[in-house]
């Protein structure tokens, strides 16, 4: 399990999302000679990154290895692939990559490695792919994440994104938590303060704000 720099919260701090975890387990189960691609979509702060990390941590044993990338932009994905190559393919350190051509060569090496026929049980998490540039979705700043997939159609890929238009993947829409108690637990953890009285102490309107805007809260 290689979560290189993923923003992890304490495992005990994670609440809810059991239904979604089960869905991901089914959709991303390793299958010989087939590729699973799932896009976890939803508003900023709704919990996509934490769910993807929880999934990788809880079910990582089903895979030969798990690797997390920050897919915010092309450069962060490339940097992640260089780290993957350094850790899994070859014995060099990623800091020895000094120029873009060298970086591209190593990125390609990592993709080749992921494409090997015997290496088909991995899980890759591409987190924060919020700026896609895809057929029918123009973006001067975005990119097509598929150019960083392995050449071979195998393995399991989980993308998290604010976009609803990642149509090449099976989409799982993440909604707000349906249990107010769980939202209060997150609020308490994030603010470092106890939420006294919980449900009983909040008005209906406050509750609705809390549940609908978890990132702000």
Ligand X SMILES: Nc1ncnc2c1ncn2[C@@H]1O[C@H](COP(=O)(O)OP(=O)(O)OP(=O)(O)O)[C@@H](O)[C@H]1O
Q: Which is nearer to ligand X, 33 or 193 (CB)?
A: 193
Binding site for ligand X (CB under 6 A): 9, 13-17, 42, 44-50, 128, 160, 162, 186, 190, 214-215
54 binds Mg ion (CB under 5 A): no
For Mg ion, the closer CB: 42 or 150: 42
Smallest distance from the beta carbon of 125 to Mg ion, in angstroms? 11
Q: How far is the CB of 38 from Mg ion (least distance, A)?
A: 15
Cβ closest to ligand X, residue 48 vs residue 111: 48
When CB distances are held under 5 to 8 angstroms depending on the partner's kind, the choice from Mg ion, ligand X, none that residue 45 binds is: ligand X
On the 0-12 / 13-18 / 19+ scale of CB atoms within 10 A, 141 is exposed
Closest to ligand X by CB, 186 or 195:
186
Q: How far apart are CB 47 and ligand X at their closest, in Å?
A: 3
The distance of closest approach from Cβ of residue 197 to ligand X in the complex, given in angstroms and rounded to an integer, is 20
Q: Rounded to the nearest whole angstrom, what is the least distance from the CB of residue 71 to ligand X in the complex?
A: 11
List interacting residues with Mg ion (CB under 5 A): 48-49, 128
């Amino acid at each position: 399990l290689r979560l290189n720099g993923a923003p992890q919260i304490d495992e005990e701090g994670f609440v809810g999302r059991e239904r979604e975890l089960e869905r991901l387990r089914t959709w991303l189960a390793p299958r010989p000679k087939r590729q699973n691609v799932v896009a976890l979509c939803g508003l900023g702060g709704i919990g996509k990154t934490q769910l993807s990390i929880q999934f990788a941590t809880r079910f990582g044993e089903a895979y030969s290895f798990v690797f997390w990338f920050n897919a915010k932009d092309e450069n962060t994905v490339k940097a992640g692939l260089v780290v993957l190559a350094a850790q899994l393919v070859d014995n060099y350190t990623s800091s020895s990559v000094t120029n873009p051509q060298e970086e591209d060569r190593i990125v390609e090496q990592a993709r080749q490695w992921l494409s090997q026929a015997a290496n088909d049980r991995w899980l890759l998490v591409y987190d924060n792919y919020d700026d896609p540039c895809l057929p029918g979705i123009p973006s001067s700043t975005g990119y097509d994440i598929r150019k960083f997939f392995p050449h071979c159609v195998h393995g399991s890929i989980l993308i998290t994104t604010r976009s609803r238009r990642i149509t090449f993947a099976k989409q799982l829409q993440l909604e707000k938590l349906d249990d107010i108690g769980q939202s209060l637990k997150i609020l308490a953890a994030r603010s470092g303060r106890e939420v006294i009285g919980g449900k009983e102490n909040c008005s209906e309107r406050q509750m609705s704000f809390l549940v609908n805007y978890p990132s702000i809260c």
